[in-house]
Amino acid sequence: MSLIVKTITRLTVGLILIYGIYVVLQGHISPGGGFPGGIIIALSFIHLLLAFGKDAVLRKLNQAKGVFLASLGAAVFLGIVLGGFMGRQKPLLSQDHFALFSAGRILLCDIAISVMVGTGFFVIFLALVLLNQGEED
Amino acid sequence: MSVYFLCFILFCVGLYCILRKRNIIKIIIGLAIIEYAVSLFFILTGYRLHGRAPIFARDQEILNMVDPLPQALVLTTIVISLVVMVIVVSLALRIYEKYGTFDITKIRRLKG
Amino acid sequence: MILLFMICASIVAVESRDLISSVIALSAVGLGLSLGFLILKAPNLAITQLVVEILCVIILIRATINKDLPLVTDGRWLFNTIATYLFILCFLFFAYRALKELPNFGAPLMRVSQEFITNGMQKTGSSNIVTAITLNFRSYDVLGEAAVFFAGIIGVLVIIRKTGKIHNSENEE
């Protein structure tokens, strides 16, 4: 990839990641939530992969670690749902309806879902890229 | 009434594309158009004229909101449609690797 | 209106000969859909549709970038086209008859949603009603969706992985 693409990628990848985390964390106050936030986090990693080639990204997050993180996110979500089914606790509930920690279980569910969705889509894209690379050789 | 009808015309354009085209990528594009049309139809049934978005604000009393229930259902539908598209595209890539073409009339050999 | 723009863009996507132009026209349809969601007062869905659209177009372009083929149409063309048009006309006619039963555009029934709106903020504590419904009133749906998502990931990994085994066995022989 050309030099312009690499320079702009270095500037914007961190901003995209922070925007994704922002969309996840304020999912119960403003539009957004777990799903688009997770996909934005995956898009930041995909941006890095498209600009720099797969070697620069595979050092940080290879396929086995990605699948492990996706399963971890799903397991945490399952634990939260089953915990609500059996018990009746409402953690992190404050009276101010527009604060960050006001919605109890919804915030924890959002974080678990965003980890699961984000790493899942990144693993899928990595698999497709590895197929293309193996085909060109 | 005419808005629903236009949504169905979009659905029929996608349906025509799936039925008549011979290239696998065109069939995948028709599938995506059908998914967009179906999501749009669900949201159209829940719209209230001069309604507001279903999000409370800090110091306003909002009386007329659009229907939030179809929006919650379509939210998961959009993510699942992306997963379906990825699976179909990976199948198309394997077919190209094995047969060398995307033309569906030339893919007739059923080997084990 | 935006629907007319989407229909025109979808006809371009269907009929164009070049694969890359079809994919870009599909991206225009998705953008029109996201704008439509904004006009229909669904901001949650507009963000999700925009982001999903970007990812879908990246994957489609990645799949078709080296494999562009010219298209050839021949053989039994007239009968197929007439049969397809007749089927679509019948479908549209029955859809027109069925669409009259729906409530008028702009006046939904909203029997269940009225309970969600009036009690939602007290019971869950979140001010985004759509997120409250998705993750609190109907969170078992999201659990099913996570299951389908994982089936998708495993499916893609299984479909892609066989190349390594075939090459390994060919190298050993």
Residue A77: band (very low, low, confident or very high) from pLDDT cuts 50, 70, 90: confident
Q: Does A97 touch chain B (CB under 8 A)?
A: yes
One-letter amino acid of A129 = V
CB spacing of C47 vs A70 below 8 angstroms: no
| C49-77 residue pLDDT tens | 999 999 999 988 887 776 666 555 544 56
Phi, psi angle pair for B23, to nearest 5°: -100, 135
**To the nearest 10°, the Cα dihedral for B93, B94, B96, B98?**
170
Evaluate whether residue B86 is within a structural domain: yes
CB spacing of B47 vs C69 below 8 angstroms: no
Q: How many CB atoms lie within 10 A of CB B32?
A: 26
For an interface test with B, which of C130, C154, C156, C157 has the most B Cβ atoms less than 10 Å from its Cβ? C130
Q: How many CB atoms lie within 10 A of CB A75?
A: 12
Residue B75 has pLDDT above 70, yes or no: yes
Residue C167 has pLDDT above 90, yes or no: no
Residue pair B83/C148 in contact by the 8 Å Cβ criterion: yes
Single out the residue of A9, C45, C89 nearest to residue B12, CA to CA. Answer: C89
Nearest chain A residue to B98 by CA: give it: A135
Which domain does B19 fall in, by range?
Answer: 2-49+63-106
* Lowest mean pLDDT, pick from B58-67, C9-18, C144-153: B58-67
One-letter amino acid of A72 = L
Report the CATH number that the domain containing residue B41 is assigned in CATH: 1.10.287.3510
For an interface test with B, which of C3, C15, C104 has the most B Cβ atoms less than 10 Å from its Cβ? C3
Write down the domain spans for chain C.
1-66, 122-173
Residue A136: band (very low, low, confident or very high) from pLDDT cuts 50, 70, 90: very low
Q: Which residues pair with B65 in a beta bridge?
A: B52
Question: Which of helix, strand or coil describes residue B86?
Answer: helix
Task: Tell the residue number behind the tokens 């039994």, with chain if given.
Answer: C76
User: From CA B11, how far away is CA B3, in angstroms rounded?
Assistant: 13
| Mean pLDDT of all residues belonging to chain B | 82
Residue pair C129/A33 in contact by the 8 Å Cβ criterion: no
For an interface test with B, which of A121, A123, A130 has the most B Cβ atoms less than 10 Å from its Cβ? A121
Between vectors from CA B40 to CA C57 and to CA C138, what angle results, nearest 5°?
A: 95
The ipTM estimated for the assembled molecules is 0.85
CB spacing of C163 vs A131 below 8 angstroms: yes
Residue of B6, B48, B91 with shortest CB distance to C7: B6
Evaluate whether residue B57 is within a structural domain: no
One-letter amino acid of C2 = I
Return the structure tokens found at A46.
């995909």
pLDDT at C57 (0 to 100)? 92
Q: Does B59 touch chain A (CB under 8 A)?
A: no
| C105-141 residue pLDDT tens | 767 677 777 777 777 767 766 777 888 788 878 888 8
| B13-61 residue pLDDT tens | 888 888 888 788 888 999 999 999 999 988 888 887 777 777 776 666 6
Residues A84, A86, A91, A96, CA torsion sign: positive
Question: SS3 string of C92-161?
Answer: HHHHHHHHCCCCCCECCCCHHHHHHHHHHHHHHCCCEHHHHHHHHHCHHHHHHHHHHHHHHHHHHHHHHH
User: From CA C120, how far away is CA C134, in angstroms rounded?
Assistant: 12
Q: Does B44 touch chain A (CB under 8 A)?
A: no
User: From CA C98, how far away is CA A25, in angstroms rounded?
Assistant: 43
Residue pair B74/B42 in contact by the 8 Å Cβ criterion: yes
Return the structure tokens found at C45.
């869905």
Residue of A31, A35, A124 with shortest CB distance to B79: A35
User: From CA C82, how far away is CA A30, in angstroms rounded?
Assistant: 50
Residue pair B39/B29 in contact by the 8 Å Cβ criterion: no
Report the number of distinct structural domains present in chain B.
1
